[in-house]
Amino acid sequence: MSMDAMTAQRHAEVAGAGFAGLSVATALAEAGWTVRVHEKGTELREEGAGILMWENSFRALEAIGAYDAVAARSLPNPSYDTWLDGDYVSRERPADFRLRSLTRQDLYTAILEQAERAGVEILAGSEVVGATRSGTIILGSGEEASAEIVVGADGIGSKVRSSLDIRPDGRPLGDGMIRMLVPRHKDQLGPGEWDDVIDFWRFEPRFLRVLYVPCNERDLYLAFGADRDESGSSPLDPFDLQTWLDAFPVLAPVLTAASSTSGFYHPYQTVVTDSWVNGRTVLVGDSVHAMCPALAQGAGQAICNGVSLGLALSTSTDIDETLAAWSRRAMPVTQRCQVVSEQIQKQRALSQGNIVIDAVSEFARFDCTAGYR
């Protein structure tokens, strides 16, 4: 029997149409599986602002045929720059790997369109309430469906995870940033490397951070960090334009735009478990490896692990053995990335400059598709 014939009858049920769920679904559908994705939201869309991506994500996106659409909608950032207390610290260039940024919605659309082209069936408004070790998905409607595998890609509050009684070590982390998209206002900014990602830090007289991420010619992703003072007040709650202008005057046009734009606040959280595979149910993405975004690898790891899971299964003759081998390869890299991101976040180490490219390169260079193609 040919590989195509062998995999033709295979079926996967996926919980969650986020980056992880759509990535694994696309890879499986392209390998001839039938795939049904359940999304509890009534619309297929991404919330939030922008995203930085590195080489590891692009290799995964190439493997499912979504890279060209991502490249067309994203900006190649020549370098990652750091400024501290008004002084230039470093301009780090990723010499041998790609760094690009785009809006979350553009990334989502690119992957969603590829999933649809591959024939993935996506049901919006379909909530998953659990799954079993034997590969049955349980829906909020009461329907149950069996599959060769069930994928729990239902994000940080995963119901698939809790239904399997997997209790993650979930660590909330103190910091968090407010994120938004504003117009780039390139013509109003002074001289500068405005296509770079620029990380502006200030510790004197108080901690303030602006992460400047140009996503295309039109959209700029800004993330703002600040601490509350002893009286509990924060220059982000509400947005105090004057504080930000005083701290980062070179950003005046985009800070002014930010003051009339509403942002999203997400606290940082890490989710770690001993195992990602429970019989025929597999967890991937934030449901099992949420991480703090200091290395901008959360979505990257979700996409890489989703794609590599799909690629591994696409040539599998023994699903249980394939799942075990896949998680042995994927888990250590991702879990190390969680540890490194958290350390960097806690120490606010990025403010010192000269460490971003070194710190991320282990993960950015990891080729999740190696050995599967």
Residues forming the site for ligand 5PR (CB under 6 A): 52, 177, 179, 211, 223, 293-294, 296, 350
Angle (deg, nearest 10), helices 298-314 and 356-364: 20
User: Pick from 324, 321, 315, 289: which is nearest to 369 by CA?
Assistant: 315
- Smallest gap from residue 362 Cβ to ligand FAD (A): 15
> Which residue lies nearer to ligand FAD by CB, 84 or 288?
288
User: Pick from 317, 312, 349: which is nearest to 327 by CA?
Assistant: 312
Stretch that binds ligand FAD, among 82-90, 151-159, 324-332, 336-344 (CB under 6 A): 151-159
Helix spans in the chain (H): 3-8, 19-30, 55-63, 67-73, 104-117, 159-163, 241-247, 252-259, 286-289, 298-314, 319-347, 356-364
Partner whose binding site includes residue 211, from ligand FAD, ligand 5PR, none (CB under 5 to 8 Å by kind): ligand 5PR
Kind plus residue range of the DSSP H or E element containing 35: strand 34-39
Distance, CA of 300 to CA of 54 (rounded, Å): 7
- Smallest gap from residue 100 Cβ to ligand 5PR (A): 13
Distance, CA of 249 to CA of 361 (rounded, Å): 32
List the one residue from 94, 155, 168, 214 that touches ligand FAD (CB under 6 A): 155
> Which residue lies nearer to ligand 5PR by CB, 166 or 294?
294
Q: Is 300 in the site for ligand FAD (CB under 6 A)?
A: yes
> Which residue lies nearer to ligand FAD by CB, 176 or 253?
176
> Which residue lies nearer to ligand 5PR by CB, 80 or 372?
80
Q: Is 153 in the site for ligand FAD (CB under 6 A)?
A: yes
- Smallest gap from residue 295 Cβ to ligand FAD (A): 8
- Say if CB 101 and CB 198 are below 8 A apart: no
Determine the size of the site formed for ligand FAD (CB under 6 A): 31
The helix/strand/coil state of 15 is: strand
Token readout for 294 is 């200091």
Partner whose binding site includes residue 285, from ligand 5PR, ligand FAD, none (CB under 5 to 8 Å by kind): ligand FAD
Partner whose binding site includes residue 128, from ligand 5PR, ligand FAD, none (CB under 5 to 8 Å by kind): ligand FAD
List the one residue from 11, 36, 266, 348 that touches ligand FAD (CB under 6 A): 266
Q: Which DSSP letter does residue 262 get?
A: -
Angle CA 102–104–107, to nearest 5: 70
List the one residue from 18, 135, 168, 235 that touches ligand FAD (CB under 6 A): 18
Q: Is 12 in the site for ligand FAD (CB under 6 A)?
A: no
- Smallest gap from residue 189 Cβ to ligand 5PR (A): 20
From residue 274 to residue 293, the character string flagging contacts with ligand FAD as x (rule: CB under 6 A) and all else as - is: -----------xx------x
User: Pick from 35, 32, 9, 26: which is nearest to 69 by CA?
Assistant: 26
C-alpha separations of 80 from 226, 325, 360, 363 in Å: 21, 35, 12, 16
Stretch that binds ligand FAD, among 51-59, 67-75, 231-239, 249-257 (CB under 6 A): 51-59
The helix/strand/coil state of 108 is: helix
Contacts of residue 360, Cβ cutoff 8 Å, sequence gap at least 6? 54, 295, 296, 297
Binding site for ligand FAD (CB under 6 A): 15-21, 38-41, 51-53, 127-128, 153-155, 159, 179, 266, 285-286, 293, 296-300, 302
